[in-house]
A = this chain, B = another copy of it.
């Protein structure tokens, strides 16, 4: 139980993946976390598999160069489209399998999945859920406006209520009993999503279920579980540092943050830091 605390690397296309960081910190308060938000090239959710894989590999290479002991792909789009083709030397997790497992555990007959356009098009959540339980029905809905609405800061807003109602309408009409939030930004919309779904639908959040998986693996070996000690810290890198990213990061983590600017250069295996380090 006195093994050194691990350094966990987490990346996402933007700052939404900090919902996973927040969940990890609650479960593994003694772990150190280095986070990379590829804000210069977000969103991934409308882009092709090839492009998402190229960007994701550059992010992995950057984090591995920083000596991480484990890696979490906090981006649903990257988890869905690129995870199986990534070249990673450390243990690593995507958010897709943990999210799918949690949905299967919660579901009765019919799971609704909301996600970005690319994640939906990949069909990855549907396949993962059906692999675990072929008897479950799965319906998907792409929700491309939800990330911009969160980034605008309109989480609790009548316009967001209407957009959510429109996206969920076909799922609710088809009587889903479980709703899987298949994008790291969506936990910030939990309030409006819960009100739209009503009490008959269980919401499942892949940030939470992923952090549980990581705790199960790392916590048992290294004594970094939630024993009351405080986190040695989170270091945040971003490939672009507009003021909106810092603002949203603070909303998610609930504390002031400093984003360090870096350039991962967009090509395989050639991360290049130009600032902040």
A239 cross-chain contacts in B, Cβ below 8 A: 51
Contact of A266 among B48, B151, B266 (CB under 8 A): B266
Tell whether A196 is near chain B: CB-to-CB under 8 Å. no
CB distance from A77 to the nearest CB of B (A): 11
Tell whether A135 is near chain B: CB-to-CB under 8 Å. no
Q: Mark A85-125, 1 if CB is under 8 A from B, else 0.
A: 00000000000000000000000000000000110010000
Contact of A51 among B144, B152, B158, B240 (CB under 8 A): B240
Copies of this chain, count: 2
Number of contact residues on A: which range applies?
20 to 34
- Closest residue of B by beta carbon distance from A14: B46
State whether B144 touches A151 (Cβ < 8 A): yes
Q: Mark A200-218, 1 if CB is under 8 A from B, else 0.
A: 0000000000000000000
Binds B, one of A4-12, A159-167, A178-186, A220-228: A159-167
A267 cross-chain contacts in B, Cβ below 8 A: 265-266
Q: Mark A222-261, 1 if CB is under 8 A from B, else 0.
A: 0000000000000000011111110000000000000000
Tell whether A41 is near chain B: CB-to-CB under 8 Å. yes
CB distance from A181 to the nearest CB of B (A): 19
Taking each of A39, A47, A152, A239, which has the highest tally of chain B beta carbons within 10 Å of its own beta carbon?
A47
- Can you list 26 A-B contacts with CB-CB less than 8 angstroms, sorted by A residue number? A39-B47, A40-B41, A40-B47, A41-B41, A46-B242, A46-B244, A46-B245, A47-B242, A48-B240, A51-B239, A51-B240, A117-B242, A118-B242, A121-B243, A144-B148, A144-B151, A144-B152, A145-B145, A145-B149, A145-B152, A148-B148, A159-B162, A159-B163, A159-B166, A265-B266, A266-B267
